Amino acid sequence: MRVILASSNKGKIQEIQKLLGVEVVPYKDILGELEIVEDGESFKENAIIKAKAIYERLPDEIVIADDSGISVPALGGEPGIYSARYAGVGASDKENLQKLISKLKEKGLERTPAYYTAAIAIASGSGIYTTHGWMWGEVIDEARGDKGFGYDPMFIPEGYDKTLGELDEDVKKRISHRAKALELAKVVLEKIK
């Protein structure tokens, strides 16, 4: 079985290829880069928008999409579904991370609870399914380490004292929002393949 991944985020593509245990082909390899407008109001809605956009073009395939982000309750849930464009449309991972660090500093928060959410949507001839996963921890007002991607250098998972930028990649593989959502997605894939 192969699945087409409706994502152009390199960090996600690498993680999903390692976690899913089936052949994962980024949609760009088949269709080239497409602009998909993510105007949903939740991670789930945006994951469905992305999966459908690619499935409409590749109706014989199983398509999966990941919509994810980090939420900080002390900042009213920011950046949440806007994680990829927190510092503006087209902002880099570094710029988004720096913006979150600045927001924490503005509020005088050296560390504060935060959580990652991942919504996975699976579109195929069997219809659309979605799964979710979460990872709780804290964000700190500085970046440490260079592993992972996105906000990982400022995120300390619950039960650890180092950031995901510093911890061995195997840790994230075991406990991440994406790993949990994909465990459930695997159950769906088994049913529909």
Residue type, 41: E
- The least distance separating ligand ITT from the CB of residue 8, rounded to whole angstroms, comes to 4
End-to-end CA distance of the chain: 7
Tell me the residue nearest to ligand ITT as measured from the CB. 150
- The least distance separating ligand ITT from the CB of residue 23, rounded to whole angstroms, comes to 18
- The least distance separating ligand ITT from the CB of residue 103, rounded to whole angstroms, comes to 14
Q: Does 146 participate in catalysis according to the annotation? A: no
Tokens matching residue 68:
């994810």
Question: Distance (Å, rounded) from C-alpha 38 to C-alpha 30?
Answer: 21
On whether the CB atoms of residues 84 and 69 are closer than 8 A, the answer is yes
Select 12 or 180, whichever has its Cβ closest to ligand ITT: 12
Select 170 or 190, whichever has its Cβ closest to ligand ITT: 170
Select 34 or 191, whichever has its Cβ closest to ligand ITT: 34
Number of CB atoms found within 10 A of residue 187's CB: 10
Dmax over CA atoms of the chain, in Å, equals 52
- The least distance separating ligand ITT from the CB of residue 127, rounded to whole angstroms, comes to 21
Select 165 or 189, whichever has its Cβ closest to ligand ITT: 165
Select 97 or 108, whichever has its Cβ closest to ligand ITT: 97
Rounded (10°) angle between helices 10-20 and 177-192: 60
Report H helices in the chain.
Answer: 10-20, 28-31, 43-57, 93-106, 169-175, 177-192
- CB-based contacts of 188, cutoff 8 Å, min separation 6: 122, 129, 131
* Catalytic choice (66, 67, 93, 141): 67
- The least distance separating ligand ITT from the CB of residue 107, rounded to whole angstroms, comes to 20
Residue written as tokens 């503005």? Answer: 106
Task: By CB under 6 A, name the binding residues for ligand ITT.
Answer: 7-9, 12, 38, 50, 66-70, 83-84, 93, 96, 116, 148-152, 176, 178
Residues known to be catalytic: 67
